[in-house]
Structure 1
Amino acid sequence: MKDDLYADPIITWAKDKTHERPLSNADISVRLSNPLCGDMVTIEIKCKGNSIVKIAHQVRGCLLCKASAAHLASLAAGLDAHGLKEIYDALKEALKSSDDDHPFPPDYTMFAPVRAHKSRHSCVLLPYEAAIKALAAQGVENDPT
């Protein structure tokens, strides 16, 4: 179902507990919340140089935020701040777009039904915003070179 906001992939990712735990050796931890819907996400990151080694998350929020955090944590290893920001920007553009001029990044098509629900975009983006803020606080630069 193309327009089903809580399609099976979203539910599956929301139930994924693989990275949902405190990270004992985290370099940085950031908690962000969305005052409009009440979602709260804590992202903990272990870095090596400018690259993410591991991300863990804790989410108190909706299925969309949980799915997004779990998905991010599963794909983040090896990314640097620039790569993470590129994914965030592409995902944000795809959500805002009303057509396929801005397609979803290949691994993110499960979030396509959210496009029609503008008030839920922030639920998907919040984990990425927390991770970007965490890397910035750690001094990991968003340098495309």
Structure 2
Amino acid sequence: MLQELYKEIVLDHYRRPRHRGELENADLREHLLNPLCGDEVTVYARFEEDKLAEVSFTGRGCSISQASASMLTERLSGKSREEAEGEIEAFLEMMRTEENEELGDLAALKGIIQTPNRIRCATLAWTAFKSGLRGGGE
């Protein structure tokens, strides 16, 4: 069943987060707190020319918020600023509407969210990264 596969993907990222840790000399550093549940995340990125050479995160919170941050780091690493903005917009749009197969494993986050208040958990890191890019990221 697809629902079970989605849970496994999210749990895997929660248990074994990718790119977790503070990034020294980050060009982008953005912290966001969800006051409703206390989840928090800080996203970091280092640019080499226009590419995201490194992306990482720190934070604490529910499995969804932390898994989503881990998935963000994998998804955005190596992308240009413009590509990253496009990926973020596509993900945020999917969380507002319906699953987008083109987003691959990210669809798992949409697939396991049963209540609207959990959407904020899944989008926390993405919203932080978007805000960091808008601030110039330098």
TM-score by length of 2: 0.84
Per-residue CA distance 1:77-99 (angstroms, 9 max, x = gap): 2223332222222222222225x
Q: Which residue of 2 aligns with 1:137?
A: 135
Structure 1 103/75 Cα, relative in aligned 2: closer, same or farther at 3 Å?
Answer: closer
Structure 1 79/42 Cα, relative in aligned 2: closer, same or farther at 3 Å?
Answer: same
Moved more, 87-96 or 24-33: 87-96
- Partner Cα distance (1:19, 1:105) in 2: 19
- Partner Cα distance (2:15, 2:114) in 1: 23
Q: Which residue of 2 aligns with 1:109?
A: 107
Q: Does 1:119 align with 2:131?
A: no
Structure 1 111/138 Cα, relative in aligned 2: closer, same or farther at 3 Å?
Answer: same
Superposition CA RMSD, Å: 2.4
- Partner Cα distance (1:11, 1:50) in 2: 32
User: Following superposition of structure 1 onto structure 2, how do residues 49-60 of structure 1 map, counting pairs within 5 Å?
Assistant: 49-60=49-60
Aligned residue type for 1:58: T
> What is the deviation of 1:115?
4.5
Moved more, 32-41 or 87-96: 87-96
Where do 5+ consecutive residues of structure 1 fail to align?
A: 141-145
Aligned residue type for 1:83: E
1:43 aligned counterpart, secondary structure:
strand
Structure 1 17/106 Cα, relative in aligned 2: closer, same or farther at 3 Å?
Answer: closer
Structure whose residues are more often helix by fraction:
2
User: Following superposition of structure 1 onto structure 2, how do residues 79-90 of structure 1 map, counting pairs within 5 Å?
Assistant: 79-90=79-90
Q: Which residue of 2 aligns with 1:77?
A: 77
- Partner Cα distance (1:86, 1:79) in 2: 10
2:45 aligned counterpart, secondary structure:
strand
Please tell me whether the aligned partners of residues 45 and 53 of structure 2 are also in contact (alpha carbons under 8 angstroms): yes
> What is the deviation of 1:19?
1.0
- Partner Cα distance (1:120, 1:86) in 2: 23
Structure 1 115/90 Cα, relative in aligned 2: closer, same or farther at 3 Å?
Answer: farther
